[in-house]
Structure 1
Amino acid sequence: MKKKITVALLTAAISLSLVACSNKENVSKNEKLEDTVVVYTTHKEEMLEAISDEFTKETGINVEFINLKGELADRVRSEKDNPQADVMFGGDTSTYMQLKEEGLYEKTEPQWKDELDKSFKDSEGYWYGTIKTPVMMFYNKDLLSADKAPKDWSDLTKEEYKDLIVTRDSLSSSMRSTVCALIENNIKTKNEDAAWKYLTDLDKNIKNYYNSGSVMYSAIGKGEAAISIAVLSDIIDNKENNKMPLEIVDAESGSVVITDCVAALKNAPHPNAAAKFVDFVGSAKVQAMIANDFNRIPTLDSALKDSPAWMATDYKAMDVDWDVIGKNQSKWIEKWETDIIDNNKVEKQ
């Protein structure tokens, strides 16, 4: 039986002897697959449960997933000399680039790797993108008319938007990636001082930072603020399923497009099961399942054609150098958290 375990119980949990399911008809006899795979992740539990169930059905391998949110990379780093997990699933390209340089991943060769566009994978086979995640500005059209709404990221610092903006806090991986992309873009087009001035001015206009996406959307719905930033799939979900009056902004300088990735960890306790999980979770079948059931945009074209029509939405992507972000992300986020964010605005749930 597959179980979800907390971080606090991780060490004890993985030391237990787990008995795998017996259904391994789809597994080659030449593979010596372990009975368990431990996955560190940032993805929502409902999606992880669905993926884990299908993986166990297909392979007989038990899945233990541990959701680490904004602590994923730090956890993997801290266990470099004694890995406690097999797979890292979730997190952006820049994080994977950095951890690859630190020697934390094992090469894998999933069956679908050649189909994947080179912009969504490591050239040496250390990590692969499985989900495209555009991060976009949006607003409550009952509170703000289209002509008064922001047209680009630079508009968010205008005085007219003071206390009209709410966002996620630094525990959100998409928010951290967006902040880093905005820093990199400002440095590239202006200079580093301009980048930090932009974030300082933005903080002045932000009414609250939330560590819960649902609470943030609730604030928008209740009219506590008119403008926010979120991944496109969540905006679509709240607009269509929760009937919220939201309007998406196709930013003039482009929206930040994050690629959520997967990688097998070096010296993992269950290396063969790890490689099998990477192969499974990025397959067209699973990407299409995630697209239809959880509104996540595939990186494989063969999965995209079987996905909801809105995923073909045309939007401008910001020109971002994820390699530069990977090299600077830690110090940039630390400075943002310690020197920029007004902690009095951080709403704890």
Structure 2
Amino acid sequence: MNRRMLFMLTGAMSAVLPAIAFAETQLTVYTAIEAVDLDRYKETFEKAHPDIKINWVRDSTGVMTAKLLAEKDNPQADVVWGLAATSLLLLKTEGMLEAYEPKGVAELDKKFVDKDTPPSWVGMDAYVAALCYNTVEGQKLGLTAPTSWEDLTKPEYKGHVVMPNPASSGTGFLDVSGWLQMWGEEKAWSFMDKLHENISAYTHSGSKPCKMAGAGEAVIGVSFEFPGAKAKSAGAPIDIIFPSEGSGWEAEATAIIAGTANLEAAKTLVDWSVTKEANEMYNAGYAVVAYPGVAKQVEHLPNDIASKMIENDFEWAANSRGAILKEWQKRYDAKSEPKT
């Protein structure tokens, strides 16, 4: 080979090599994670793995679950990172998840890991039912702060309570599922009938009731602990109350969608999602995380939230979801906010 040909060949290879070196995998990741956290999660993961880029598709838990099920025969997502474990169990029963045991999963609390081997989903953190009570508005109206779920049925709260719709919000579903598990069907539906009398609206976002309470648009928001802590940090005059009977809860979880063309990159993301570093990141917003010993107290929240969480049967909740939502919508959907 003469020198001129060698030079041309070397130049051509030089033009190709940078493209190879900087080739990156684009992962479509479906999520119901609070929008405020998405940039932080993406940046932290991509810093550790610059060859993989996350493209988020976000919506509320119910909407995202319905979207995934509708796409069963033509999946559009590679990974679900941050969706209710009960929703992922629904996808599992439809054969939509790629079972995978991530590196380091043995370090996680067992209640955050799918029972099968290898698991189809792994948990990240827990969001726990809580009440956001506006102390200023409550005082104006001469109300007393609730201490229990049963308190919410008192006549004095009529028109002053908002909560999420369980068909569109994972927070709403964990409330209803929690009541049914704590009390059984007869007592739980009787409680919800009485609660309905005091509800001004059912929202399609789990955090919105707490934001409404923080803004004085409602006295009591049935929500979860994270938006309460955030609102209080921003100066909202609210108390965050964990009802005395115990709180329903849900795990945010991660899974690979079966049939993804980017399986190795998807496994890399799931491996990273269970690391101590990732769990430290989750702890910025959630007081209970999957990795034992990582969680530090979140400002404005008690340090014993785990003790307030009820025994939660994810399998039962997932298998009963359809029947629960059908009954709930028949009884109460008339007070739901319009869907946008």
CA apart distance, 1:65: 1.3
Task: Report the AA paired with residue 198 of structure 1.
Answer: F
Q: CA deviation at 1:254?
A: 0.5
Within 2, Cα distance between the matches of 1:298 and 1:341? 33
Residue deviations 1:321-343, cap 9 Å, x none? 22211111122123212332323
CA gap 1:328/1:295 in 2 versus in 1, 3 angstroms:
closer
What displacement does 1:76 show?
2.1
CA contact (8 A) 1:88 1:265 kept: yes
Map 1:1-349 → 2, pairs under 5 A: 22=21, 35-59=25-49, 60-69=51-60, 70-123=62-115, 124=117, 125-144=119-138, 148-170=144-166, 171-187=168-184, 192-212=185-205, 216-217=209-210, 219-240=212-233, 242-292=234-284, 294-295=285-286, 297-305=288-296, 308=298, 313-315=303-305, 316-343=308-335, 346=337
Quick check: 1:237–1:295 contact (8 Å CA) kept in 2? Answer: no
Query: Could you tell me which amino acid in structure 1 is paired with residue 145 of structure 2?
Result: A
What is the rounded CA distance, in whole Å, between the counterparts of 1:87 and 1:20 in structure 2?
A: 26
What SS class does the counterpart of residue 125 from structure 2 fall into?
A: strand
Q: CA 1:226–1:139 in 2, change beyond 3 Å: closer, same or farther? A: same
Give the distance between the partners of 1:304 and 1:168, measured in 2 at CA: 27
Residue 40 of structure 1 contacts residue 67 of structure 1 at CA under 8 Å; is this kept in 2? yes
Residues 203 and 342 in structure 1, CA contact (< 8 A), matched pair in contact too: no
2: CA distance, partners of 1:110 / 1:22:
26
Amino acid at match of 1:299: A
The 1:48/1:99 distance shift into structure 2, 3 A limit, reads same
Distance 1:231 1:149, change over 3 A: same
Indicate the RMSD between aligned Cα atoms, in angstroms: 2.8
Residue 130 of structure 2 aligns to a residue in which SS? Answer: strand
Q: For residues 194 and 212 of structure 1, do their structure 2 counterparts lie closer, same or farther at Cα, with a shift above 3 Å needed?
A: closer
**C-alpha distance in 2, partners of 1:83/1:348?**
25
Give the distance between the partners of 1:199 and 1:106, measured in 2 at CA: 37
Is the Cα–Cα contact under 8 Å of residues 291 and 298 in structure 1 kept in the other structure?
Answer: yes
Q: Deviations over 1:61-92 (max 9, x none)?
A: 12111113222222222222332211112232
Consecutive unaligned residues of structure 1, counting only runs of 5 or more, are 1-18, 25-33
CA contact (8 A) 1:133 1:231 kept: yes
Partner amino acid for 2:231?
Answer: N
Q: Is the CA contact 1:144–1:226 (under 8 Å) kept in the aligned structure 2?
A: yes
CA distance in 2, matches of 1:311, 1:20: 49
Runs of 5+ unmatched residues, structure 2: 1-17
Q: In 2 relative to 1, CA 224–41 (structure 1 residues): closer, same or farther, beyond 3 Å? A: closer
Does the residue aligned with 1:174 lie in a helix, a strand or coil? helix
Cα distance, 1:311 vs structure 2: 6.4
Q: Provide the C-alpha distance between the structure 1 equivalents of 2:152 and 2:180, rounded to a whole number of angstroms.
A: 14
- Output one character per residue of 1:192-219: Cα deviation in whole Å (capped at 9) or x when no partner: 3433232222111011223356764454
**How many equivalent residue pairs?**
314
1:238-295 Cα offsets, whole Å, 9 max, x none, are: 112x211211223221112221111111112211111111111232112212323x45
Quick check: which has more Rg, 1 or 2?
2
Residue 309 of structure 1, CA deviation: 6.3
Shift of the alpha carbon at 1:22?
A: 4.6
Alignment partner of 2:106: what SS? coil
Deviation of 1:299 (Å): 1.6
Cα distance change of structure 1 residues 49 and 222 upon mapping to structure 2, 3 Å threshold: closer
Equivalent residues of 1:129, 1:259 under 8 A apart: yes
SS in 2 for 1:38: strand
**Helix, strand or coil at the partner of 1:96:** helix
SS at match of 1:142: helix
